[in-house]
Structure 1
């Protein structure tokens, strides 16, 4: 490992701190704006230190909101993000396991058909997907928010590539010991996939949390809105005035669950991306 000493080390840290400050400064301004009054925001200059209306603004956002309480929208987003992440991982684990460890006609063709769905994002197939969801009566429901988005060709591809690195001797040993395919999957493959699952869960959770277009189409009731939709709906139309402290408080609250997931799973996330020794 190459160690930097002297001026080079200090210069590196200065640039790192400067970069962190540049990235963090807009978030800090949003937090400050969420703790002051409307008059403080619209009257320049914007204060750089938090005000004394933290509890008032965040309480109004969580329990009153504009159209619906932000607490309800956060819960909807949390259910949707967890459902999408877990659903994608479960389906991808099983589909990749079947493609790698089972011999059936057209196995490679089916894999490449799954992989080709990367060329068809939800925006391309949104009309037929909406028709299917509507015909099953899943509008304004968690199932309608989650099920159309739980298939993932990317996760299937990543798990397939990992399974191909697993020594064949493990499968042979499990077969000799009389283990069924699902027992081999549950006791050997799944524990070995732990870091990959963690890394994908973080990515897929953020993907589900940031969804906007699909929830906008399948939800017409305000109580089913996600927090990303809620932030957009808080912006005024026409001559209405925006309640900027509540909007900023909602934006800060919307960042907390993804930050918590990333921080709590940071070690597994990094290992899943860079660790090649399983």
Structure 2
């Protein structure tokens, strides 16, 4: 019997609605600000309805940039896309292969190797930033896509996620593959990868957003404006000097920066949720 508690249901929905308003209102405000000119935003009387400058602000931001952004937003979004895709794909490849080796191959210190990988979760980029930067600089990878992506593609979280999933796969599948004459690579390609698609999708969404939102690492290794990512571009548009900030371009850039992560989450939502909550594979 389901107990009817209308007051508790009302409070739950009210709390949820308030949370949505708190999260969505700044986004809505940025979208509205991107449709006005600078004077309307600066005077503090910006309406909460769309303006008539969207057709001017968005093309200008995408193809020309603002006064303080020496590169157009389209170029910055391209750099961020390369970085986010490279990090997401690289983390998935390394994680799935390392988890496969830890689970299905018998070698000395196998568990020790896994725990060494797991311990690296306590060493974020900020902790190892100097030695990582030194290596990248010595290898001549400053202001390159390789330098943006390569140091960030190792993922202990992804290895743990795939390891836990592989351990739920029945041993009978491995035995059946051996009977069919399948080697380790064929078993991995024909059996494990198809079963891992929801896990791969969930990890891709998480790591894509992680790569897209990176600020500290690209700030350190990019000295050319043509290599800056969109997160850095937004920061440079908001000046702290006497120069006038072009808030309409900054807000337009912020809105454009939200589009790719939102599209990734929307189009991969079903696989993303399934990969996180499904327990029986």
Equivalent residue pairs, number: 278
Sort the Cα spacing of 1:57 and 1:209 in 2 relative to 1 into closer, same or farther, 3 A.
Answer: same
Detail structure 1 runs of 4+ shifted over 4 Å in the superposition: 1-15
TM-score by length of 2: 0.94
CA positional deviation for 1:9: 5.4
What CA distance in whole angstroms lies between the structure 2 residues aligned with 1:127 and 1:24? 37
Map of 2:162 onto structure 1: 159
For each residue in 1:132-157, what CA deviation from the matched residue of structure 2 results, as whole angstroms up to 9, or x when unmatched?
11122111111100000000001101
SS in structure 1 of the partner of residue 45 of structure 2: coil
1:1-278 aligned within 5 A: 2=2, 12-65=12-65, 66-278=69-281
TM-score by length of 1: 0.95
CA positional deviation for 1:169: 0.9
Sort the Cα spacing of 1:3 and 1:273 in 2 relative to 1 into closer, same or farther, 3 A.
Answer: farther
CA positional deviation for 1:19: 2.9
What CA distance in whole angstroms lies between the structure 2 residues aligned with 1:102 and 1:15? 49
SS in structure 2 of the partner of residue 154 of structure 1: helix
What CA distance in whole angstroms lies between the structure 2 residues aligned with 1:151 and 1:6? 49
For each residue in 1:111-139, what CA deviation from the matched residue of structure 2 results, as whole angstroms up to 9, or x when unmatched?
11111111111111111111111122111
What CA distance in whole angstroms lies between the structure 2 residues aligned with 1:210 and 1:121? 15
CA positional deviation for 1:42: 1.2
Sort the Cα spacing of 1:3 and 1:17 in 2 relative to 1 into closer, same or farther, 3 A.
Answer: farther
For each residue in 1:148-185, what CA deviation from the matched residue of structure 2 results, as whole angstroms up to 9, or x when unmatched?
00000011011111111111111111111110101001
For each residue in 1:24-53, what CA deviation from the matched residue of structure 2 results, as whole angstroms up to 9, or x when unmatched?
111111111110011111112221111000
Please, which runs of 5 or more residues in structure 2 have no aligned partner? Answer: none
CA positional deviation for 1:20: 2.0
For each residue in 1:76-96, what CA deviation from the matched residue of structure 2 results, as whole angstroms up to 9, or x when unmatched?
001100100000000000000
Aligned residues: CA RMSD: 1.6
CA positional deviation for 1:7: 6.5
